[in-house]
Amino acid sequence: MQRLLSTTLLLVPFLLHAQARHSVSGTVRDAASGETLIGASILLLEQPRSAVLSNSFGFYSLNAPPGTYKLIVSFTGYLNDTVAVSLDRDLTLNVQLNGAGGQLQEVVVTGNKNNNNVTKPLMGVQKLSVTEIRDIPVIFGEKDIMKTIQLLPGVQAAGDGNSGFYVRGGSIDQNLILLDGATVYDPSHLLGFFSVFNSDAIKDVTLYKGAIPADYGGRLSSVLDVKMNDGNSKDYSASGGIGLIDSRLTLEGPIQKDDGSFIVSARRTYADLFLKLSKDTNTNKSSLYFYDLNAKANYRLGSKDHLYLSGYFGQDHLGFSNSFDLTYGNTTATLRWNHILNSRLFSNTSLIYSKYNYTIGINSGSNDIGINSYIKDLHFKEDLEYFISQGNKVNFGVDVIDHTISPGVISASGTSSFNPLNIPNKHALESALYISHDLSPTDKININYGVRAGLFTVLGPGTFYRYDSSGNAIDSSVYSSGKTVINYFNLEPRFSMSYKLTGSSSVKMAYARTTQNLHLLSNSTSSNPTDVWIPSSNNVKPEVADQVSLGYYRNLKGNDYELSAEVYYRDMQNQIDYKNGAQLIANTTVESQLVYGKGRAYGLELYARKKVGKLTGWISYTLSRTERQIAGINDDSWYPATQDRTHNLSVVGIYKLNKKWTLSADFVYYTGNAVTWPSGKYQVDGQIAYLYTERNGYRMPAYNRLDFSATLQGRKTKKTDSYWIFSCYNVYGRENPYSISFEQDPGDASKTQAIQYSLFRWVPSISYNFKF
Amino acid sequence: MKRSFIFFGLSAVLFLSCQKTVKLSLNTAPPQLVIEGQVTNTPGPYTVTISRSVAFYADNDFPGVSGASVLISDGQGVTDSLTETSTGSYTTHVLQGKPGNTYTLSVRLNDTTYTAESTMPQPVALDSVTFDNAIGGNSLRAQVYFQDPPDVKNYYQFILFINGSQFTKDYFVFDDRLSDGRYITQKLQMDSSYLSAGQQLKVNLQCIDLNVYNYFNQLAQATSTGAFNTTAAPANPSTNISNGAYGYFSAHTISSQTVTVH
């Protein structure tokens, strides 16, 4: 690995001296709104290998020997633009693309005819634009990117009533979820019924599950990179939606025409208003809602600099009578400065703040208790992109995050049953240097390789314990403020490569090592707002994963159809599990409650997508296995992880009936979770206790569901738009098990029985959406 | 804090949850030996019961195990050899429980000896019992009051008797991890209603040792019921009995109050 790093570093100066070429660079935007377009394809017709994609800020740069060329810019759902360029010097060329016919549905019809999926080396990458997900049915009619990505291959839903997802056998906390670069620690609202991402404020979503690029780090399984809209820089507009559960409103417009814009988007649910109508005094004093706010502003300072400021604030509130309330939410803020150092060197500097906190208040007469907890990041990131020559690019940068975790502060009055308690904050510094290089040594081969060198520093102040095998503290060391407790250094090589077999087919392979130093402690069936994050420490080692994957990609009928097959194998070290009866909340010695082990996951993912025509959609199928080996569990042998699902099938179909109606449906089927059920019972103190013989030895019944949705397009002009969405979740009312509980039969004291609980049957919804 | 608490309201509002009985295909483990033994600070005799596990779908009829040789010693020179008074039920003769003593149980059966140890904590007195309505419903539940002694770790178990018969639908345990030295108000709550006005309720406040607390705390987690209470990985509780037997051996103190439910 050391060698790969030094080779890369040696290569850089050589590459920087590529000569006698001129570059053309600029920003690609939507002609109507001025929004930058991420991932647009730019190429010189006479130099087919010159193709590049615009970066996260719409910037592109490519270069070629002096001459006259035709520059072609294309992007999903937009008309191609061709510009004649005369490369006798370095040029700046900003491009504005017009939407295809201006009709969203027709976007899908016109489609993206490029074959980036075949030619780019990155594998295990899925990109979705918000327009693509509009027609996919979801629960409560609220389009939701978190639910939509769960229909993609290799991504598994955690289940009904849960926004969490598993990627290639990883657990929920092993996904890095970013909103404009800021970590979102809990991406769910209302305990998972909704995600925090308001799709009106979202521009682009990319999920990396295989070859994670070197500029991302910190989680084991995947990166979900969500980017917010910049706002319309041409004109003011308002858009929104009214649904049964919530309403949304977005305002956007120019700060200065073409040079700056803003967008503010807000949502609130109002299901709890019905509680107020209740006659029951406990119920009508209860509350249950969330709201969130996305805001972003950007301003261009001259031709080389661009500033972006964006933020998110969301809060959930659950309260019962006057005796219990829980408030939780995320706050993020991102300040970014894009600077074009020269036509080949693009710099992005980010200052990011991110916080997740929860507060619980319990009040019952004189017995009261309040619990506060948070995790807070201050994050600096510098990314540089150097466009060397055609197909030849270097990304490098530095990434430093200061983490502060407050595991819990308990406040209680003098008459409370509880003592006030302040569990000391935990501090850690997560820093990394990365470099990656894209190159295409021949017409057929594209390579991306790189390395991320990460250092995780656990800092004082604090008392750090060591534990014996039964979890008793055997000694402790006290560290003063800022003192280093332990350093973990990890080198993470990343490599991916594509080999073009024909113009429309390729094979790709990838290897990636990832590490994770923040761990979410959760021992319930699904994630809770009160789950605790802990950093690596003297006891908790960094989680490490190595993944290899291999894939075959084939486009048919001029890229109208995309087919792919990928196989992967992932090995995971230092995985965390919990002791029997582990006490995770407000525990100063929480690390004594943990046990460690290994994981492995492997599988085959098949994906077929039809991108154009009246009928569009995809089929995704995953055949996989996910296993764990934890000391002391199942005689130390490998056993299926909870999320081990042999089969996982999603089918999504969108049919454009006519100019007014679009119909869509999705079908989901997957093998039930591996679960622990009793293999007998016995009596303790006159009560029935259940006898367990092994962890995860049984299977939940298979999950399946069909959803349906119909979109009625209202009158649409260049400026205004409106549409209705009618949908039904779980059309045939399948009672998918949420949990199965073992209980005494209330009707017959001599028997025990298994009770299956299900959440959703037939959830119909209507929403009205507008823009003017 | 239980997730159910939060979810209760959510599912109530959205009317989404539904339930049904399902017949699962469950394996049956070979019958396992279950030993339950208690020594208390109230006058003896004390009982040790030995039984075996059965299949999940079998009747709740747990066969007693005869012919074991059962001894309890108090670490102060007294060793009581128990007599089998009915099938699987063994009682003491001379032993008298006393706080501070460490008791050792030894059960010999078919050439295997199962042993356990438990230390009887100092007693804590139960002050009073009141009743209140559970959140979100009209079901009555008991609330107990007592003073936790400062600077010692205390572990408590509550045993309920309704109209004279032991309540066997839930395990109630409490520890002073976050409450050391406080005057404790503790709700004895479960998912469904279990009390009605007019009943005679007797509450035993038992001071138990750490191992017994762990046993019942884990048992309570593994046997919790309802849509949202099931833990991700239920397991057999860690017992203080050696050699693979199930059950527990507890030396504990008892302080009681009897009240009429209102």
At residue A19 the predicted structure's pLDDT band, cuts being 50, 70 and 90, is low
Cα angle, residue A755 at apex, residues A754 and A759 outer, rounded to 5°: 150
Enumerate residues 6+ apart whose C-beta is below 8 A from A37: A28, A29, A30, A54, A58, A75, A78, A97
What is the nearest CA distance from A698 to chain B, expressed in angstroms?
A: 8
- Residue A658 touches chain B, beta carbons under 8 Å: no
Give mean pLDDT, residues B12-25. Answer: 73
- Give percent of chain A above pLDDT 90: 46
* CATH, range A225-771: 2.40.170.20
* pLDDT value of position A100: 66
pLDDT-wise least confident of A31-40, A393-402, A689-698: A31-40
Q: Give me the pLDDT at residue A513, please.
A: 96
Report CB contact under 8 Å: A191, B10: yes
The least confident of A7-16, A205-214, A393-402, B73-82 is: A7-16
Task: Return the sign of the alpha-carbon dihedral for residues A200, A203, A209, A214.
Answer: negative
| pLDDT at site A23 | 85
Contact by Cβ (8 Å): A400, A457 = no
In three-state secondary structure terms, A692 is coil
pLDDT averaged over every residue in chain B? 88
A192-201 pLDDT, tens per residue? 778 899 888 9
**DSSP secondary structure string for all residues of B199-216:** -EEEEEEEEE-HHHHHHH
* pLDDT tier at A262, thresholds 50, 70, 90: very high
Q: What is the pLDDT of residue A104?
A: 37
| pLDDT confidence of residue A684 | 93
B100/B251 Cα distance (integer angstroms): 10
Compute the C-alpha angle A150/A151/A156, nearest 5°. Answer: 45
Domain B33-119 has CATH 3.30.310: no
- Of A682, A282, A100, the closest CA to residue B138 belongs to A282
Contacts of B249 in chain A (CB under 8 A): none
Q: Give the mean model confidence (pLDDT) for residues B189-199.
A: 78
Q: What is the mean pLDDT of residues A633-651?
A: 93
Residue A324: its pLDDT value, please?
83
Cα gap A62→A438, rounded to integer Å: 13
Regarding predicted confidence, which is higher, A21 or A412? A412
What pLDDT is stored for residue A111 in this prediction? Answer: 36
State residue A281's pLDDT score: 63
The Cα–Cα gap between A639 and A643 comes to: 11
**Rounded mean pLDDT of A731-747?**
88
Residue A1 confidence class, pLDDT cut points 50, 70, 90 = very low
- Fold match flag (B33-119 vs B123-235+253-260): yes
Write b or e for each residue in A221-256: b if 16 or more Cβ atoms lie within 10 A of its Cβ, otherwise e: bbbbbbbbbbbbbbeebebbbebbbbbbbbbbbbee
- Read off the pLDDT of each residue in A161-171 and give the average, rounded to a whole number: 86
User: What are the DSSP calls for A96-148, one per residue?
Assistant: EEPBSTT-HHHHHHH-----HHHHSS--SEEEEEHHHHTTS--GGG---HHHH
**pLDDT value of residue B224:** 75
Coil, helix or strand for B12? helix
Residues in A closer than 8 angstroms to B238, CB to CB, are 580-581
**pLDDT by residue (tens digit) across B131-179?**
887 655 567 888 999 999 999 999 999 999 999 999 888 889 999 998 9
pLDDT at B17: 63
**pTM of the predicted structure, to 2 decimals:** 0.89
Q: For residue A583, how many other CB atoms are within 10 A of its CB?
A: 16
DSSP A170-207: --GGGEEEEETTEE-S--EEGGGTEES--GGGEEEEEE
Residue B70: the pLDDT is 96
Q: Is B178 left (phi over 0), alpha (psi -120 to 50) or beta?
A: alpha
Q: Render pLDDT for A472-518 as a digit per residue (tens, 0 to 9).
A: 888 999 999 989 999 999 999 999 999 999 888 999 999 999 999 99
Question: Does the pLDDT value for residue B13 go beyond 70?
Answer: no
B11: pLDDT strictly greater than 50: no
ipTM, two decimals: 0.92
% of chain A surpassing 70 pLDDT: 92
Which of A267-276, A650-659, B97-106, B242-251 bottoms out in mean pLDDT, i.e. has the lowest?
A267-276
Between residues A248 and A282, which one has the greater pLDDT? A248
User: How long a stretch of residues is chain A?
Assistant: 772
Strand segments, DSSP code E, in chain B are 18-22, 33-40, 47-52, 69-73, 79-81, 83-86, 89-91, 102-109, 112-119, 126-133, 140-147, 155-162, 165-166, 172-175, 183-188, 200-208, 246-260
Query: Is 70 exceeded by the pLDDT of residue A721?
Result: yes
pLDDT at position A526 is 62
* Residue of B36 and A280 predicted with greater confidence: B36
| Alpha helices (H) along A716-760 | none
Chain A 516-535, CB below 8 Å of chain B: which residues?
523-525, 528, 530
Residue A140: pLDDT above 60?
Answer: yes
Q: What's the rounded Cα separation, in Å, for the pair A78 and A720? A: 19
| Residue of B142, B140, B139, B138 lying closest to B128 (CA atoms) | B142
**Interface probe, candidates B178, B188, B217, chain A, greatest A C-beta count within 10 A:** B178
pLDDT at B49: 96
DSSP state of A282: H
Q: Which residues of B touch A360 (CB under 8 A)?
A: 1
Confidence tier at A6 by pLDDT (50, 70, 90): very low
Cross-chain CB nearest to A418 (options B166, B169, B178): B178
pLDDT attached to residue A114 = 62
The helix (run of H) or strand (run of E) holding residue A380 is: strand A367-389
Contacts with B, A 341-370, CB within 8 Å: 360, 364-367
**Domain B123-235+253-260 = CATH 2.20.110:** no
CB A574, CB A595: distance < 8 Å: no
d(CA A229, CA A220): 28
Closest Cβ–Cβ partner in B10, B17, B223 for A690? B223
Reported as a single tens digit per residue, the pLDDT across A316-335 is 998 877 778 889 999 999 99
Per-residue pLDDT, A282: 62
How confident is the model over A150-165, as a mean pLDDT? 84
What pLDDT is attached to residue A108? 34
pLDDT of A283 = 64
Alpha helices in chain B (DSSP H): 3-14, 210-222
Residue A261 bridge partners (DSSP): A254, A298
Yes or no: say if B62 and B44 are a contact pair by the CB < 8 Å rule.
Answer: no
Mean pLDDT of A49-69: 86
Identify all chain B residues contacting A274, using CB atoms and an 8 Å cutoff. Answer: 13
Please answer yes or no on whether B230 and A525 come within 8 Å at the CB atom. yes
Sort A72 into a burial class: Cβ within 10 Å, 0-12 / 13-18 / 19+. middle
Residue A9: which pLDDT band, with cuts at 50, 70 and 90? very low
| H or E segment and range at residue A9 | helix A2-16
- In the three-class reduction of DSSP (H, G, I as helix; E, B as strand; rest coil), residue B41 is classed as coil
- C-alpha A679/C-alpha B56 separation (Å) is 6
pLDDT surpasses 70 at A36: yes
The secondary element (H helix, E strand) that includes residue A275 is helix A273-276
The phi, psi pair for B59, rounded to 5°, reads: -65, 155
Nearest CB among B19, B182, B247 relative to A684 is that of B247
Nearest to B232 among A274, A364, A524 (CB): A524
In angstroms, what separates the C-alpha of B105 from chain A's closest C-alpha?
A: 17
- Tell me if B64 sits within 8 A of B87, measured CB to CB: yes
Q: How far lies A273's CA from each of A60, A189, A287, in Å?
A: 49, 17, 8
**Tell me, what's the pLDDT at A164?**
84
Going from N- to C-terminal start, the domains of chain A cover 225-771
pLDDT tens track for A572-588:
999 998 888 788 878 88
- φ, ψ dihedrals at B213, nearest 5°: -60, -50
Q: Do B22 and A740 touch (CB under 8 A)?
A: yes
Domain ranges of chain B: 33-119, 123-235+253-260
Mean pLDDT for all residues in chain A: 87
